Amino acid sequence: MQNFLKTSLVVMLFALLSVSAVQAEKDAHKDDIVQGNIICLFPDVDSGSVTPVIATSPCDGKPSHAHVIVDTRGEVGQVYAVEGTDEAITRLEKTSKRKGVNVQGKVTGSQKAWVITVD
């Protein structure tokens, strides 16, 4: 009887863990909203660095560059690297409003390296 109880508890615990694992997987694939500022990172080969700019007009005419979003909702200022298809990035680059915007996408990553995939 004792063994039966133990086995039942282990099975139940395993079932609970499986459910939370499935939930976490689902959460990683839902559409998230990041609210903050979109920053263009213009590379400078000479200095080997980048110049961060909050654009006030479309930046799709500029040489190819990366973007990050600084989440302004919290006190930490979480930074998200922006990735996506050419079409999705071009759509983002054609916008003029870059401050306090909502960006929808799929957020992945870990505590110190977040990525938002836009579509």
Residues contributing to the site for Zn ion (CB under 5 A): 40, 59
Nearer to Zn ion, 59 or 103 (CB): 59
End-to-end distance of the chain based on CA atoms, in angstroms? 55
Nearer to Zn ion, 38 or 107 (CB): 38
Q: For residue 23, give Cα distances in angstroms to 28, 29, 76.
A: 9, 10, 26
46 CB contacts (<8 Å, ≥6 apart)?
none
Nearer to Zn ion, 6 or 99 (CB): 99
Do the beta carbons of residue 5 and residue 19 sit within 8 Å? Answer: no
Residue 59 CB, nearest approach to Zn ion (Å): 3
Residue 61 CB, nearest approach to Zn ion (Å): 10
Q: What does the alpha-carbon distance between residue 49 and residue 76 come to, in Å, rounded to a whole number?
A: 23
Q: What does the alpha-carbon distance between residue 61 and residue 93 come to, in Å, rounded to a whole number?
A: 9
Residue 76 CB, nearest approach to Zn ion (Å): 23
Residue 35 CB, nearest approach to Zn ion (Å): 18
Nearer to Zn ion, 59 or 116 (CB): 59
